[in-house]
Amino acid sequence: MKRIFLFFILIQSQFLLSQTVLAAFPLELKKSKEYRHIINAANTITHNMFVFASDKETLTILKYNSSLFLNSQYSFPRPDTSLTTIAGYSFNSDGNPALYWSNADLTKITAVQYDLNAKTSYPINYEQQFFNQTVITQFQENNTFYILAQKQFEEKLILYIFKDGKKEEKTLDFSSFKFKNSKNQAINFTQILEACPIEKIETNQFNPLFKGTQKTKFYVLKNRLLLTFDHNDNETQAFDIDLSTLEIQEKNFPKTSTKNYVSLSNSYYHESKIYQFKVNAEELVFEIKDYNTAAIIKNILVSKTDTISFKSSPLWQQFEGQRPKELKTTAKFLSQLVYLEAGLTVYKTSNSILITLGGTGNIQFANFINTLSDFNSFDNNLQYQNIPTTVYFESIFDKKLDHIKKDQEPLAVDFISRFELEHSEVTLPSIIRYKNYYILGYYDSSAKQYIMRKFIDGFDRSF
């Protein structure tokens, strides 16, 4: 009993050590909760941190320096209330911010440039028809706001660029590139995106496994974009897009063949490396390659009769709403994984690299349901139920990409989730990765304050 009590004390103390209050600012957001917004945003050049907090009438801007001391605060009238969303932000060369207020489908955007020195604002209205286009995502890079859309019936993506009160429209044309499926049959760009929609990966944050199981991934990198395709189980096809010139370069990374031709596969890009994962009921192949040269850094083959030597956790199977259960053998793990969408994620913590390999999807179960028949007797009816399922294991590597035997420390995202769960006063949370830690900014509805808390991965900052 004493050991259990001590365990809970240690867990609680670790949780407290993982987070620190960085700032608290008195703020009262008026009623009509649907108009309330909070966004944390960092100027990537000056490293100043901004907070944009809005209710139905007023936008409050808080400006913090790179050490997160409050420099100044401003109030501006909120634009048209029909624009219910802050779609994004940008910063001009003077360090002044612009917010992009929009309706739900981004067809109407008001770009408001805020001059903090003159305490004035300048709105510019944009009408976005998106004719024969489907919006994929919006994002910020190099203090610029972007919207990415897919051109229907054409082999093109459209990139809308917003900065300094200007909007540009650029076309990313993929019609000159060749695409093949796993049977070496020619297919086109549109067919791939219809079957495998683009999933945006957060490049400096932890991504859950379901994102890693998507076949088409989109990465926003420094001054470039990366689009990877894994519809073909024989290779990863990557397209590197220069944001300055919009030049597209193709790279291909073959996947190691397995004994059984029928396999599931996927890949994940992380810090100039391509991590590839291929699996069937007989074996698992895990490879790490240099993105620039395609040279193989690591190749690991595991058969169903082997123990996975590079795993750092048990082999887990988890059904939605239930605790995970351990799969005792590699064979059992592989036999469950082949019914799911396979994939992996890679995340760099303060002192290690965490790799999660596995799959997500639905597994069908049959249940016998007793029903009363017309003759007052019970019939056994077979009912099928699809249950969301995750099968996975974790592996920890050092910065040289060698497997290390150690327990994975809790992640900042775990601490943030727990904090939000235990504090009902947390509303309008906005999470941003800043330097080597996370900031959770939120409105404390009880204390009527804006609060920023710092959360770290684990407890060792020496990596």
Kindly report, residue by residue over 71-130, the tens digit of the pLDDT: 999 999 999 888 989 999 999 999 999 999 999 999 999 999 999 999 999 999 998 889
Task: Decide which of 7 and 72 is more confident.
Answer: 72
1 band by pLDDT with thresholds 50, 70 and 90: very low
Mean pLDDT lowest among 131-145, 277-291, 380-394, 416-430 = 380-394
Element (H, E) at 451: strand 449-455
Write down the pLDDT at residue 350.
Answer: 83
Beta strand pairing status for 216-221 and 198-201?
parallel
The mean pLDDT of the chain is: 90
Question: For residue 323, is it left (φ>0), alpha (ψ between -120 and 50) or beta?
Answer: beta
Write down the pLDDT at residue 80.
Answer: 85
Domain ranges of the chain: 207-406
Count helices and strands in the chain by DSSP H and E runs: 5, 32
Instruction: Give the residue from 146, 64, 69, 142 showing the smallest Cα distance to 100.
Output: 146
321 band by pLDDT with thresholds 50, 70 and 90: confident
> Half-sphere exposure (CA, 13 Å, Cβ side) for 171?
9
Write down the pLDDT at residue 32.
Answer: 84
- The answer to whether residues 305 and 294 touch, using CB atoms and an 8 Å cutoff, is no
Write down the pLDDT at residue 407.
Answer: 82
pLDDT at 374 over 80: no
The dihedral formed by the CA atoms of 288, 294, 295 and 301, expressed in degrees to the nearest 10: 40
pLDDT at 377 over 70: no
Share of the chain above pLDDT 90, in %: 80
Averaged pLDDT, 371-393: 68
Beta strand pairing status for 378-397 and 353-372?
antiparallel
Instruction: Give the whole-angstrom CA distance, residue 392 versus residue 342.
Output: 9
Write down the pLDDT at residue 363.
Answer: 81
Residues 6+ apart with CB under 8 A from 433: 204, 205, 439
Mean pLDDT lowest among 26-35, 291-300, 379-388 = 379-388
Write down the pLDDT at residue 351.
Answer: 85
